Amino acid sequence: MSPRERHLFFTQPVDPTKLFDTANIEEDNLRGPEQTFVPLGLANAAGFGLYTSATTALGFAMHAVGVTLPFATYTGLSSTIAFVIGPARWLAAGAWAIWGVTGPEWKKIVPALLYVISTEERLNIQDSFSSDF
């Protein structure tokens, strides 16, 4: 690669919307845990291809720079991918989803509390005026 091509390779942004468009997933409809489950599911569906693609991309990037990496680097990359898309990530995403479903709805709780407090205060004020007369 020429220096200009190398610079473009390492500086161009990666756009995940292309992946969502290819999979016919509307990004606007994804909220909270769904934004974790969708890429996690896609990564698990890729299977071994994900590992080979990652090591090939790392090898290509390092070859473009002119650096040779030891085998331990590729093993570490595969171990990291296994951890990120493995059971630990699924448990974390599941816990987040459960907390989202069973957690408090602050947008509903706060107005209800304000209503109860204001009603109680109004009744206290009415009682204080009625007891004065």
Would you list the domain boundaries of the chain? 3-102, 104-133
pLDDT band at 30 (very low <50, low <70, confident <90, very high): low
Pairwise pLDDT comparison (87 vs 16), residue with the higher score:
87
To the question of pTM greater than 0.85 for the whole model, the response is no
pLDDT of 7 > 90? The answer is: no
Task: Single out the residue of 106, 48, 90, 52 nearest to residue 74, CA to CA.
Answer: 52
C-alpha span between 65 and 27 (Å, rounded): 34
Contact partners, residue 87, CB within 8 Å, separation at least 6:
none
What are 45-100's pLDDT values in tens digits?
Answer: 888 888 888 899 999 888 888 888 899 999 999 998 888 888 888 888 888 888 87
pLDDT band at 119 (very low <50, low <70, confident <90, very high): very high
- Which whole number is the average pLDDT over 14-20? 68
C-alpha span between 118 and 112 (Å, rounded): 10
